[in-house]
Amino acid sequence: MRATWRRLPAKLHEVGWEPGLEVPAADGSPLITDHYFPRTEGDFPTLLVRSPYGRGLPWSPMYGLLFAEQGFHVALQSCRGTGGSGGEFDLWRNEAEDGRATVSWLREQPWFNGTLGTVGPSYLGYVQWALALDPPPELKAMVVQVGLHDPHALFHSGGALHLEKALAVGLGMTYQHQGVGPFVKATLRLQRRLREVTTAKPLRGAYTAALGCEVPWLDEVMTRPDADDPYWRGASQAESARRLRVPTSLITGWHDGLADQTFEQYERLRAAGCETSLLVGPWTHTSALQQGWPEVFAESLAWLRAHLGPDTSGLRPTRVRVHMGGENAWRDLEDWPPAPYTGRWFPTAQGHLTREAPSDRAPLASFRYDPDDPTPSVGGQLLSRTAGPRDNSALEARDDVLTFTGPPLTEAVDVLGPVSARLSISTDTGHSDVFTRLCDVDAQGRSVNVCDGLGRVRTHGQEPAQITVAMSHTAHRFAVGHRIRWQISAGAHPRFARNPGNGESAVDATTFTPVRITVHADSALTLAADAGGREPGAAGEG
């Protein structure tokens, strides 16, 4: 373990292990739990780590051994219906009551001193929010790493299905708790059959060829795009953050497929007056727990020591720390977002990006999107290893991708905060998606994605529709000589399921219709400047 990562803190305690403890779930099913503990006399706080991904690699060394070495009891538990635990796994529905049942069991253990923290990534973050909906009095600190609170938003946004995320989650939930061997075999099968599955007509049920079995809950989440559908009732734990008083540390990466949920969590905690901190690294969902683990572990350990014990020496002086893309440096900030100013950039018919607002709503450029030859996804916020910054040059050479590019910068431009696009769009079929991306173009012409977003467009006749697309958050420096680029297309497949172009469901459609999409002059890209004040792109026009 220590040979894998550099810069881990020195071991403070030898570790003992009690595997296979049976903890009664809310329905009486046994929740199999491994107890890691310091082999040292004395009282130590307890960390509860509940996971649907098993209790072996990487969870046992990363959360059992490493935290126990630092002076914590760790209860590493398999969620209901996974990793040997009894009952049936039902995505999100049992986590609150099973978490409370586990705390009741902890109260009866002779080694439990009444001080409890929680920690974990991804769905291990969701179970923390579920417990926090009605937090037990013993809960004194939470650390949510690349975690979610809203399952609907994981699978859908604006009516569009996050197809690649759905398949990744289905794979992980089905196989990871079975051990490394079955998980690796299933991962390779999904990679081999990804194109076959994601281009199937209809899409419904096609995943079974790649996952090797039916996953009933995956069928449900893929076919219910409406957040108001009764199926999703009780799924979101957003209410936890709105009233929480438990000190909570949030950790994410700019290219994490759950980053937007982390920013929502931070906003709600701040509004509630809850003590919180935010760390955002140059990571994807997976790299945060791999290359980024030394920083993630140090941040988590410092927060837990400060709030479960008397040691506050590891806390940083500011509430927020972000990694600046394009600069490869960390910045400490008082809050997020820090920028008091937002500036707009406008596209021109010549493919430029300018600060000068247009005088009309004239059509600027159009392209044809063919769902049978969908615009491919390149990097971005995903759960897989293909996430992150990538060279977009081949993508931008396609006929179905528009780019609008600013002039070479004579001064560096720092963009810190949420990015969004206001788009004026007309279509010939009335149905389309629009994918919009901010890119950094270097002096050699290499275009690299910074952040992006997708929205669904409905139009009537030739009248353009107005749509605002959230493009996530960023902290990025556009260096001198670089250019700011706005990329627009009608999809990113298989990251998002293809829009059929005719109003049919993306999951059930068997007929696809090509769409002619036109961007109008009153579209705008909105960027946030840094707190130092200069407007983005104020220098270097022309």
Q: How confident is the model at residue 451 (pLDDT cuts 50, 70, 90)?
A: very high
Report if residue 406 sits inside a domain: yes
Q: Is residue 375 located within the same domain as residue 522?
A: yes
CA 537 remoteness from chain centre: 29
Q: Is residue 364 located within the same domain as residue 508?
A: yes
Tokens of 252: 């994410």
pLDDT at 533: 37
Report if residue 121 sits inside a domain: no
Tokens of 238: 């957003």
Of residues 529 and 55, which shows the higher confidence score?
A: 55
Could you give the CA distance from residue 129 to residue 261 in angstroms, rounded to a whole number? 12
Check pLDDT > 80 for residue 418. Answer: yes
Report if residue 377 sits inside a domain: yes
Q: Is residue 389 located within the same domain as residue 518?
A: yes
Place of tokens 């209790």: 55
Report if residue 191 sits inside a domain: yes
Q: Is residue 227 located within the same domain as residue 376?
A: no
Where in the sequence is the domain holding 226, given as residue range(s)?
152-235
Report if residue 349 sits inside a domain: yes
pLDDT digits (tens, 9 = 90+) for 107-152: 999 999 999 999 999 999 999 999 999 999 999 999 999 999 999 9
Check pLDDT > 90 for residue 3. Answer: no
From residue 404, how far is each of 60, 447, 515 by CA, in Å? 48, 12, 21
Q: Is residue 516 located within the same domain as residue 378?
A: yes
Q: Is residue 366 located within the same domain as residue 483?
A: yes
Look at residues 183, 200, 235 and tell me which one is the last residue of a structural domain: 235
pLDDT digits (tens, 9 = 90+) for 297-317: 999 999 999 999 888 888 999
Could you give the CA distance from residue 387 to residue 380 in angstroms, rounded to a whole number? 5
Q: How many domains does the chain have?
A: 2
pLDDT at 534: 44
Average pLDDT, the chain: 93
Please state which of the ranges 16-30, 405-419, 521-535 shows the lowest mean pLDDT.
521-535
Mean pLDDT of 272-284: 97
Report if residue 113 sits inside a domain: no
pLDDT at 540: 33
Query: What pTM value is reported for the model?
Result: 0.94
Q: How confident is the model at residue 529 (pLDDT cuts 50, 70, 90)?
A: low
Could you give the CA distance from residue 123 to residue 237 in angstroms, rounded to a whole number? 12
From residue 290, how far is each of 6, 164, 189, 413 by CA, in Å? 11, 21, 23, 30
User: CATH code at 389?
Assistant: 2.60.120.260
Comparing C-alpha atoms, which of 171, 149, 156 is closest to residue 222? 156
Q: How confident is the model at residue 91 (pLDDT cuts 50, 70, 90)?
A: confident
- Starting from the edge strand earliest in sequence, which strands make up the sheet with 73-78, in order? 15-24, 30-38, 73-78, 46-51, 116-122, 139-147, 248-255, 276-284, 320-324, 329-333
Mean pLDDT of 72-80: 98
- What share of the chain has pLDDT > 70, as a percent? 96
Look at residues 235, 262, 277 and tell me which one is the last residue of a structural domain: 235
pLDDT digits (tens, 9 = 90+) for 166-201: 999 999 989 989 888 998 999 999 999 999 999 999
Q: Is residue 486 located within the same domain as residue 361?
A: yes
pLDDT digits (tens, 9 = 90+) for 239-260: 999 999 999 999 999 999 999 9
What b/e readout covers 61-88, taking b as 16+ CB neighbours within 10 angstroms?
A: ebbbbbbbbbbbbbbbbbbbbbbebbbe
Report if residue 438 sits inside a domain: yes
pLDDT digits (tens, 9 = 90+) for 460-511: 877 899 999 999 999 999 999 999 999 999 999 999 999 999 999 999 999 9
Residue type, 40: T
Report if residue 134 sits inside a domain: no
Look at residues 235, 262, 297 and tell me which one is the last residue of a structural domain: 235
Check pLDDT > 90 for residue 280. Answer: yes
Question: Does an H or E element contain 194, and which?
Answer: helix 180-198
pLDDT at 463: 85
